[in-house]
Amino acid sequence: MTQVASSAPVVVDIDGLWSVFKSLQGTAVIHQDLNLRIHRGDFLTIVGGSGSGKTVLLRQMLGLETAHQGRVTVLGQPAGAMAALGGAAQVGMLFQHGALFSAFSVLDNIAFPLRELRGLPPDLVRDVAMVKLQMVGLDASHAHKMPADLSGGMIKRVALARALVLDPPLLLLDEPTAGLDPDSSDAFCQLLRSLHAELGLTIVMVTHDLDTLFELSTRVAVVAEKRVLINAPVQDVLAYDHPFVRDFFLGGRGHRAMGLLQERPQSV
């Protein structure tokens, strides 16, 4: 794996990871000796074919999957141990189909991880949830709406506020702009970009949307052949000679998004 050295502290360290699923149909090896190191302040985008194991990789970082072999260390701890301690304070996750609790208001959805901690004064819980609501660009008038009354872009924002309510230093995003119309997608990208900068977050994002990738990534990791082929700044990945990389970046969508790259050089 190609890796440019960084002096920032390591936030995610995956070493020799095997992810294996066993079923009646047999054994499926999803990751085979996969290595990935992510430094503080990175906005790392993971790309790879459908079914290549991108979501499983995020779930490994959350401690929701077990490593068949190898180590997954997040913020200095084994990922599984962190999950057992209630990992939401350390790692926020925006799931791809991260639906809100439909019977809870916007504010109660955002407050949910705070209430799980128990014992916090209700006024404090409400105030913190309100601050997070505003942080994701929604004003207080939305606090008592129900999820069914929100647009797709607003649902993503509320889910993001919930993921960040305990101020985790690490945020994982699985296809955050999938299903959004282009304007909502652009607006959500701008929000992610400003939160990354303002909160000093480390962000790991899976996306197949090239506009989103070029807009936000400080680095790109390519998952193929059951491992991370390259983890490098986007320009280096573009120059990497591999069939997946060529198809992904140089197909029709890729050419359009590359035009965007020239207009808007990386400044994250």
Ligand X SMILES: Nc1ncnc2c1ncn2[C@@H]1O[C@H](COP(=O)(O)OP(=O)(O)O)[C@@H](O)[C@H]1O
Positions touching ligand X (CB under 6 A) are: 21, 28, 30, 48, 50-56
DSSP, residue by residue, the chain: -EE----SPEEEEEEEEEEEEEETTEEEEEEEEEEEEEETT-EEEEEE-TTSSHHHHHHHHHTSS--SEEEEEETTEEHHHHHHTTGGGTEEEE-TT----TTS-HHHHHHHHHHHH----HHHHHHHHHHHHHHTT--GGGTT--GGGS-HHHHHHHHHHHHTTT--SEEEEESTTTT--HHHHHHHHHHHHHHHHHHT-EEEEE---HHHHHHH-SEEEEEETTEEEEEE-HHHHHT---HHHHHHHHSHHHHHHHHHHHHS----
CB of 9 to Mg ion, least distance (A): 28
Given the complex with ligand X, which of 154 and 213 has the nearer CB atom?
Answer: 213
Q: Which does 21 bind (CB under 5 to 8 A by kind): Mg ion, ligand X, none?
A: ligand X
CB of 220 to Mg ion, least distance (A): 16
Given the complex with ligand X, which of 35 and 55 has the nearer CB atom?
Answer: 55
CB of 51 to ligand X, least distance (A): 4
Which tokens in the block code for residue 125?
A: 């819980």
Cα pseudo-dihedral 89, 93, 97, 101, rounded to 10: 20
CB of 94 to ligand X, least distance (A): 14
CB of 29 to ligand X, least distance (A): 10
How many of the chain's residues bind Mg ion (CB under 5 A)?
Answer: 1
Given the complex with Mg ion, which of 55 and 184 has the nearer CB atom?
Answer: 55
* Strand partners of residue 232: 220
Given the complex with Mg ion, which of 108 and 209 has the nearer CB atom?
Answer: 209
CB 62 within 8 A of CB 95: no
Q: Which does 52 bind (CB under 5 to 8 A by kind): ligand X, Mg ion, none?
A: ligand X
Q: Which does 101 bind (CB under 5 to 8 A by kind): Mg ion, ligand X, none?
A: none
Given the complex with ligand X, which of 23 and 102 has the nearer CB atom?
Answer: 23
Q: Which does 176 bind (CB under 5 to 8 A by kind): ligand X, Mg ion, none?
A: none
Give the residue among 66, 109, 48 at the shortest CA–CA distance from 231. Answer: 48
CB of 52 to ligand X, least distance (A): 4
CB of 68 to ligand X, least distance (A): 12
From candidates 55, 77, 184, 266, binder to Mg ion by CB under 5 A = 55
Given the complex with ligand X, which of 6 and 55 has the nearer CB atom?
Answer: 55
Q: Which does 30 bind (CB under 5 to 8 A by kind): Mg ion, ligand X, none?
A: ligand X
Which residues here bind Mg ion, judged by CB under 5 A? 55
